[in-house]
Each structure stands twice: as C-alpha cells, then as structure tokens.
C-alpha cells in the first residue's frame, strides 16, 4: 500500500480478500410498519381510551343515595315508634281536636266539644276497668264519625272479666250524660239537654248485643248465642236507617262473631275455661245490662228536645 493512500476503516463491514477494506454494502431501507388503526402516524403511541364508567358511577351514586334515604326513613320510623308510649297524651288530644273539627261541620264547635268529652269519659270507663283487671290499656284515640277506641292486649282472663270491661264504658258514659242532663234541667239549657240526649243515645247503641260493641262483651258472660240475635237486629236497623257507620259495624261484627263462634265450637279446655261463669255472676251481669238499658231509655225520654219546627235537636 502506498504511503499516500489512506484507508478508512469500514463501518463494521468485512475485509476484502485482497486485504483492502471495502465500503459497507448498500441495503435497501426497511420501510416502517404501517400505523395500526388507532395509532398516531407520527410515532407517538396514543393513549388508549378508558372504559366509559362515568354513567355507571352516576347510577351507583343515585342508588346509594336512595338506599341511604330509605335507611334514614326507617330509622326515623323506629324512633317514632319508640316515642309513641311517651306521646299518648298527644295522640289523645290530637285525635280529639280532629274529631271536634269534623263534628263542628254539622253541630258547631260547642256541641262537638261536649260530644267528644262524653266519648272520652265513656272510653275511660273501659280503661279504668282494664287497669283494675291488671291489663295495660292505651289512652282513648278518637276516630271522626266512628267514635273512639282504646287498645289492649286482651279484655280479661275470662268472659266475666270481658263483661266487666265492656259494661264499664256505658256505666261511666251514662253517669256523664246524666250529669249533663241535670245541669241542663237546672239551668233550663236546651243545649245541655240535647247534648245529654246524644250521650244517652250513644251509650244505648253500644249496648246492642253484638261484638265488638259493649253489649256483645256483656253477652260473652251471659249468653253468647245472643250475638246472632244482635247481629240480626243490626242488619234490620240498616234497612230502616241506612247509615255507612252501621255497615262498618256489621262488617266487623260479622267477622268477629263468626271467629268467636268457630273458636267455641272447638270445645277446647281453654274455651271452656274462658266461658265458665257462675250463675250468680250471670244474673249480676244481666241485671246491670238491663238496668243500663232502662236508665238510658229513661234519660233519652227526659232530655228529648224539639225545635220550633218539630225536629229533634241533638239527635243523630
């Protein structure tokens, strides 16, 4: 090799057999792979689209909010139920005010208030009797145009106790109506006499011998078969004086009469023990029952007031 020749090392190519280095062979450029669908043609890898989860998250949030609201609602209901024993007075007074407002539409608020008071005293007769039997009872709750009601786990351990509880309401109710009648006679107030008349009438109606009325409770100790007589009389009364309240009483009375009579037909020892009443106790219950009917009929006769048009004032 001449000293004037310069050789350059190859860029890694092999040496020729003659000892001279050859230039690297020319290679065809390898074409870049075609960009795939969704890839950036400029060489940058695009971000893959994330799954669409926003709608699911929103739906999940909505359901979670609904579940939380339902849980809070039931928690509030539970708290209210726990507070109900402490709200007995509020329940009594609240339903009494609603009843006064309802009856005021027909009789005026003064007469309505007096009528609700008489109902309260009637129901308190039941409450007092139940407590004497050792049974816890609720305070009266008023139902517009249906009267009032109390709630207890039972009416006593036997038919005699049931009769005592049933008759206690009309006894105290009759005494309350009689007090109003005396006040009306002393003062000459037609208003008080009319109020007493309605009080006597309500208590007399409750002595019909059909359950769940008070007279039906008395018949449990006297003669349970009288339930069917009382039920028939109530049905006949509907044809004479059609009234939606009577229809409701017939509905519940029919179901209760059938249930109790079917239970008696079992002739179980429990049923026999419940309806076992001594003869003297039957006579005593019967005397109180008939005495109440006579007293109430007499009270209605003495307090019956006629308006100038000849119509009964205070009768319903």
Per-residue pLDDT at 246 = 85
Please report, for residues 15, 22, 46, the alpha-carbon distance to residue 19 in angstroms, rounded to integers and kept in the order given.
6, 9, 51
Please report, for residues 39, 42, 48, the alpha-carbon distance to residue 33 in angstroms, rounded to integers and kept in the order given.
11, 12, 20
Domain count, the chain: 1
Name the residue range of residue 274's domain. Answer: 156-303
Per-residue pLDDT at 31 = 57
| Residue 141, beta-bridge partner list | 149
Q: What is the pTM of this model?
A: 0.68
What are the tens digits of pLDDT across the range 46-100? 555 555 556 666 666 766 777 666 666 556 555 544 555 555 555 778 888 899 9
Q: Is residue 16 part of a domain?
A: no
Residue 170 clears pLDDT 60, i.e. is over it: yes
Q: Is residue 211 part of a domain?
A: yes
Q: How high does pLDDT run on average in the chain? A: 78
Cα torsion 204, 207, 210, 211 to 10°: value is 110
Distance CA 56, CA 43 (A): 34
Q: Is residue 314 part of a domain?
A: no
Helix spans in 144-209 (H): 159-187, 190-205
Query: Which two structure tokens, joined as six digits, stand for 290?
Result: 């008939």
Residue 118 clears pLDDT 50, i.e. is over it: yes
Count the alpha carbons within 13 Å of 89 in the hemisphere toward its beta carbon: 1
Q: Among 286, 121, 87, which residue's Cα sits nearest to residue 200?
A: 121
Q: Is residue 134 part of a domain?
A: no
Per-residue pLDDT at 88 = 57
Per-residue pLDDT at 21 = 47
Strands 147-149 and 141-143: antiparallel
What are the tens digits of pLDDT across the range 13-27? 344 444 444 445 555
Q: Is residue 247 part of a domain?
A: yes
Q: Is residue 230 part of a domain?
A: yes
Q: Is residue 220 part of a domain?
A: yes
* pLDDT mean over 174-201: 95
Q: Is residue 236 part of a domain?
A: yes
Residue 287 clears pLDDT 50, i.e. is over it: yes
On whether the CB atoms of residues 293 and 178 are closer than 8 A, the answer is no
């Amino acid at each position: 090799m001449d000293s004037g020749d310069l050789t350059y090392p190859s860029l890694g190519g092999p040496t020729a057999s003659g000892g001279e280095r050859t230039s690297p062979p020319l290679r065809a450029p390898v074409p870049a792979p075609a960009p795939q669908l969704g890839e950036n043609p400029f060489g940058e890898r695009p971000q893959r689209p994330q799954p669409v989860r926003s709608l699911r998250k929103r739906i999940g949030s909505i359901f979670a909010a609904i579940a939380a609201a339902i849980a809070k609602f039931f928690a509030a209901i539970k708290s209210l139920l726990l507070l109900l024993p402490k709200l007995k007075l509020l329940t009594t007074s609240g339903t009494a005010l609603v009843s006064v407002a309802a009856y005021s539409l027909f009789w005026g608020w003064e007469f309505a208030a007096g009528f609700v008071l008489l109902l309260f005293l009637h129901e308190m007769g039941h409450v007092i009797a139940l407590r004497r039997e050792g049974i816890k009872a609720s305070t009266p709750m008023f139902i517009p145009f249906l009267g009032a009601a109390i709630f207890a786990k039972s009416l006593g351990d036997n038919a005699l106790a049931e009769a005592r509880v049933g008759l206690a309401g009309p006894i105290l109710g009759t005494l309350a109506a009689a007090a109003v009648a005396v006040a009306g006679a002393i003062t000459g107030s037609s208003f008080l006499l009319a109020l007493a008349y309605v009080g006597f009438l309500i208590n007399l109606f409750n002595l019909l011998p059909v359950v769940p009325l008070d007279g039906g409770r008395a018949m449990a100790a006297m003669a349970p078969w009288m339930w069917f007589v009382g039920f028939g009389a109530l049905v006949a009364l509907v044809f004479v004086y059609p009234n939606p309240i009577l229809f409701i009483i017939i509905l519940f009375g029919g179901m209760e009469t059938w249930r109790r009579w079917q239970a008696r037909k079992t002739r179980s020892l429990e049923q026999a023990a419940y309806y076992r009443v001594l003869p003297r106790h039957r006579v005593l219950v019967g005397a109180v029952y008939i005495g109440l009917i006579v007293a109430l009929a007499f009270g209605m006769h003495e307090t019956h007031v006629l308006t100038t048009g000849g119509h009964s004032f205070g009768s319903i």
